[in-house]
Chain A
Amino acid sequence: MNAATASRARGRGALPGLGLTLGMTLAWVSLIVLLPLAALAARPWQLGLAGVWHSLADPRVLASLRVSFGAALAASLLDLPLGLLLAWVLVRYRFPGRPAVDAMIDLPFALPTAVAGITLTALYGPNGWLGAPLAALGVKVAYTPLGIVAALVFVGLPFVVRTAEPVLRAFPAEIEESAETLGARPWQTARRIILPALAPALLTGLGLAFARAVGEYGSVIFIAGNMPMVSEVAPLLIVIRLQQFDYGGAASLGLAMLAASFGCLCLVAGLRRAVTPAVR
């Protein structure tokens, strides 16, 4: 038996032992991810269908979901141009301190969310460095939904930067150069050539930033006013229900958030597939 037949006899394709490793990986993923999700999905039904409906059809619950998802959407949409700009500068330009800026992009990942929240509150509060001049202009950031968006922009920025960077880096310079030789102005090149190529990566970044922003608690809880119906986020409402030992109610709200987030992420994935050029 020569080497080729021997490897074929060991397993399908180039990866020997694929069956075993795939099985182990699936088992591990199930344990870590699916089991807790299944537990969450099973919890609310203790209350019965009517109980779950009553628990969710509360104007306060709906307002909190609006605040959470609305702020997350606004923040991730704001992150798109900001993140793209940052990624562009990091990839296309050389300047002193570039490695430092590059490392600082990852700070929102590294910083504990509570620290981020307290710092942002100190910054945007009525006597903070940014909050005081803004208050003089009549703009209140802290303790309003605007503050929530500010915190979520901070938290979601690295996602957009880090997903756009590799695509920008790998973008062949020849394409831009040929567009220039064919008479395209820089703005046309950007709109017609570069942005469509970046679109899938940007949508991935958007999806990631949105997913992170929707469930944020630590960085939001200090800067939000937590006023019911106005600036109360859904994770806080879950904590409030736990505080009342209403585990079923908390789980039903968690399940609602899970379902809504899943729907949004499916939407983003569909959009991404639509803008990805077909592989010939």
Chain B
Amino acid sequence: MKRRVFAAALPAVAAALAWTRAARAATALLNVSYDPTRELYRDIDRQFAADWQARSGEAVAIRTANGGSGAQARAVLDGLQADVVTLALAYDIDALAARGLLATDWQSRLPDNSTPYTSTIVFLVRKGNPKGVHDWPDLIRPGVAVITPNPKTSGGARWNYLAAWGWALRRPGGSEEGAQAYLASLFRQVPVLDTGARGATNSFVQRGLGDVLLAWENEALLARDEIGHDAFDIVYPSLTILAEPPVAVVDSVVDKKGTRALAEAYLAFLYTPAGQETIARHHFRPRDKAVAARHAAEFPAIETFDIASLGGWRAAQARHFADGGLFDRIYTPGR
């Protein structure tokens, strides 16, 4: 009796296994991304899937997972099978490379330091700019409350911090001590440190906290779009940082899953005119000059410096954001 039941079950089990294997064969791609790109990759994924189907006749299922950049990198390190990572800063992808998930020269594999779109750090203020915030020195005036997320947990917050640092170094009479003093004053104006960029945006927009929000340009433009043009103004500081959120293929995962061609095509799509147009539509600055020219009204010309001029991410992380670094010393001066 038992043997007969087993014999009957065997083909059923085999059929079930074969069916699930076949179901998995419909190619899937996972893009692990940072927080503000939800809307962007929803459109990109749809466009790319249609494009790939038209070109190769193969149906693909593209999924994008969003979250804090550092948390996403940790998830991939812990085994999340990401074919492609599109994170907020090169440091997070470097952490993956250090563990052998991709080659250490990943940033040179795609054009423009593997960043198909850039953004910058701007000030979002209440309509009419009642506190008269026009540039970095205005942020440390008494009575101005500044909202920025916690640089220890948010990639966007680290761009904010480094934008302030870079400006303080480059201003006339700027020095390291002066920059440290400026940043200490700046963070004294911060009433709450949210853990992520979206959390900070919500505190500013929904809770009505603070007078100025330091934000990604794309977040500021999105907030203005969603809430309405009559609620906020965007102020561009005199000098700000060029935020380069990079993209990369995760070698170990695509080689195991056999999706390298698809993953590379996905990232290459971001550089095509169609991809760049979508990028511009979602308030990210495109690298393509023609597309940028078409959207010049939305993206004013700004003066920027980049992370390389500050010594790169590894140096910046060690100097400012590591345990006992400059950011910690703002709150615990004794150490």
Q: Does A pair with B? A: yes
Smallest Cβ-Cβ distance to B328: which chain A residue: A60
| A58 CA to B323 CA, complexed, in Å | 10
Smallest Cβ-Cβ distance to B77: which chain A residue: A245
Q: Does B173 contact A (CB under 8 A)?
A: no
| A222 CA to B199 CA, complexed, in Å | 8
Smallest Cβ-Cβ distance to B209: which chain A residue: A126
| A236 CA to B195 CA, complexed, in Å | 9
Smallest Cβ-Cβ distance to B70: which chain A residue: A243
State whether A60 and B332 are in contact (beta carbons under 8 Å apart), knowing that A125-B207, A249-B323 are contacts in the complex.
Answer: yes
Query: Closest CB of chain B to A107's CB: distance in Å?
Result: 23
Q: Among the listed B152, B191, B195, B334, which residue makes an inter-chain contact with A221, where contact means beta carbons less than 8 Å apart?
A: B195
Taking chain B's interface residues, is the majority helix, strand, or loop, or is none over half, making it mixed?
Answer: loop
State whether A59 and B332 are in contact (beta carbons under 8 Å apart), knowing that A121-B207, A126-B208 are contacts in the complex.
Answer: yes
Smallest Cβ-Cβ distance to A239: which chain B residue: B153
Query: Would you call A245 and B74 a contact (CB within 8 A)?
Result: yes
Q: How large is the interface on B (under 10, 10 to 19, 20 to 34, 35 or more residues)?
A: 20 to 34
Q: Does A115 contact B (CB under 8 A)?
A: no
Q: Mark B127-163, 1 if CB is under 8 A from A, else 0.
A: 0000000000000000000000010110000000000
State whether A227 and B192 are in contact (beta carbons under 8 Å apart), knowing that A60-B332, A243-B70 are contacts in the complex.
Answer: yes
Q: Does A119 contact B (CB under 8 A)?
A: no
Q: Among the listed A143, A229, A239, which residue makes an inter-chain contact with B191, where contact means beta carbons less than 8 Å apart?
A: A143
Query: Would you call A127 and B332 a contact (CB within 8 A)?
Result: no
What are the residues of chain A within 8 A of B3 when measuring CB–CB? Answer: none
Q: Does B28 contact A (CB under 8 A)?
A: no
Q: Does B219 contact A (CB under 8 A)?
A: no
Query: Would you call B193 and A229 a contact (CB within 8 A)?
Result: no
A–B Cβ pairs within 8 angstroms, 28 of them: A58-B335, A59-B334, A59-B335, A60-B328, A60-B332, A122-B206, A122-B207, A126-B209, A127-B207, A222-B199, A225-B191, A227-B190, A227-B191, A227-B192, A227-B331, A228-B328, A236-B153, A236-B195, A240-B150, A240-B153, A241-B323, A243-B71, A243-B152, A243-B153, A244-B152, A244-B321, A244-B322, A249-B323
Interface residues of B (CB under 8 A from A): 70-71, 74, 77, 95, 150, 152-153, 190-195, 199, 206-209, 321-323, 328, 331-332, 334-335
